[in-house]
Structure 1
């Protein structure tokens, strides 16, 4: 993918030969940075890109036991995840090291410049351009060991489900309206093997396994913190025959399902982005059994029916509430 504006600005700088790159975007950055960098990606698909390019990758669930002189971090799209990222970077930073925060102007980099002055002894916005900026920071005022367990937000939602969610994971704080409409209008007969696509903290998958006659349920997400959260939600609610795993779309899916159920994402970064969801809608039929069904919820202004009618003989609107619609698709058209 073409370089994002923040990446273009970053590559104009005098870059260190060795650095930790945190939360890089899914663009062509990996082709242009020094080979001595390590990458810590929140996205499974981005992580795969860097590994394919020969970079050493580091888990975002626990910092590597190594102090980096240079850390370059792209601002996360979720404000809830920012403190997690800052803590992660500070725990990986050498005493005399420096962090560069990279981001688009409308993505929060301006407010971050003010925030870092409260968190670091030294902070400065030293590069601007491409509608982006880079803020440098060094000597954290408070440093602590990074412990993943301390970042889980534990809640009992409106479904009486115990949700364990890490910062920035979908449905972290409360049951979102789209998921609520979907679960309220679930068909009574959902059986067999079910896939929760884009599972977030695992709410949909766990609810279906609790309230329907399901043999097995798989949950997948590209966000590694979401997968970890879903695994914890499965465990906390004692959900049997359930598994959550990381996947870029259907890349890691080998089986076919009786049902695929999803509240698919349509935002990427700070922009509305439909490509990921459109690919999901087009490929879902290839991972359903011949009699399988697809059930999704979407904002009512999104015309997903246009895509779905190319792949399913019947696309039915099951419900429309609170600005959302639930679509059920069946009758797979194989090509």
Structure 2
């Protein structure tokens, strides 16, 4: 477990003895897990940390409307400001009006914008503390004029309608790298139905594009927001696919696919993290049929060629527009 997060240090300074604290969108922090009764998060890795300690752990999509959480709720303000606004509106819908709500976050993560945003929503607030380059605000839930569902946007791309949520990578736009990847495989993709895995499905553009061409799609992501977005995208286009929450291959056991396609993430909040993409590449051969293919797109500076060389002994470049590169690798026959 990493060192205590600054925002958690600020919470620990409070005189309150939280009796039944629910934390929303928090970092993984051992003190916070021990201190809290439960967690609400869109990140399945976070949920699993709380579950491992016997705590309650839920996504916002598996709670019934009005299902009680308790009267001690702390929202950790996310880097994505629009996601923070969504969480705030969702909490106002989920909790009875007048429920105390605290909001904590780091200054470099945008917490200083929260008072103005609360004013605009008509929510009274007090500043409770300020230390560790973090701030803590106290407010109360109210009935708001605009619904949290208004944060969802529909985007048109490649003849598809995509459901976009501020909790999903690239909210409100279509990723250039993903478009390059799909363009690069269009001519080489077999016409016969393939069993394809969309790893890190995001808003579901890859899954929908493949399903539209008759392929049997399994989409996985570690984000509950992405899982919900991908399901909505498939439904919006009248397409079918299996959508699962999974930390890379964790939910797939020994299942194999003809193709694995991915635009793997390399950021975790403000940090660069290669862990998931390294696991994707190194474990891909185990999840490909003989002659099966891995296709990934990446920023040109990322060190994926080395990983591909180790995992597959060989790889090739399908496309390169200077900003992004699309790599392919084939599982050899033994």
TM-score of the superposition, structure 1-length normalised? 0.88
The superposition leaves residues 267-286 of structure 1 with CA deviations (integer Å, 9 ceiling, x where unpaired) of: 11123322222222222222
Q: Which residue of 1 aligns with 2:10?
A: 9
In structure 1, what is the Cα distance between the partners aligned to 2:140 and 2:148? 21
RMSD in angstroms over aligned alpha carbons?
2.4
Q: Which residue of 1 aligns with 2:163?
A: 164
In structure 2, what is the Cα distance between the partners aligned to 1:99 and 1:167? 21
Provide the secondary structure at the position in 2 that maps to 1:314: coil
1:19: how far off? 2.6
Which of 91, 103, 106 lines up with 1:104 in the alignment? 106
1:315: how far off? 1.5
> Residue 311 of structure 1 contacts residue 332 of structure 1 at CA under 8 Å; is this kept in 2?
no
In structure 1, what is the Cα distance between the partners aligned to 2:304 and 2:125? 46
> Residue 102 of structure 1 contacts residue 109 of structure 1 at CA under 8 Å; is this kept in 2?
yes
Q: How does 1:122-271 map to 2 (within 5 A)?
A: 122-138=124-140, 140=142, 142-143=143-144, 148=149, 150-157=150-157, 159-186=158-185, 188-190=188-190, 192-211=194-213, 214=215, 216-240=216-240, 242-254=241-253, 255-271=255-271
In structure 1, what is the Cα distance between the partners aligned to 2:281 and 2:209? 22
The superposition leaves residues 218-245 of structure 1 with CA deviations (integer Å, 9 ceiling, x where unpaired) of: 00111112111111111221224x1111
Number of residue equivalences: 326
Unaligned runs of 5+ in 2: none
Q: Which residue of 1 aligns with 2:84?
A: 82
Provide the secondary structure at the position in 1 that maps to 2:283: helix
In structure 2, what is the Cα distance between the partners aligned to 1:146 and 1:58? 21
Higher strand share: 1
Unaligned runs of 5+ in 1: none
The superposition leaves residues 280-305 of structure 1 with CA deviations (integer Å, 9 ceiling, x where unpaired) of: 22222222223221100000011111
1:153: how far off? 1.5
Change (3 A) 1:121 1:205: closer
Q: Which residue of 1 aligns with 2:287?
A: 287
Change (3 A) 1:11 1:332: farther
Provide the secondary structure at the position in 2 that maps to 1:309: helix
TM-score of the superposition, structure 2-length normalised? 0.88
> Residue 123 of structure 2 contacts residue 140 of structure 2 at CA under 8 Å; is this kept in 1?
yes
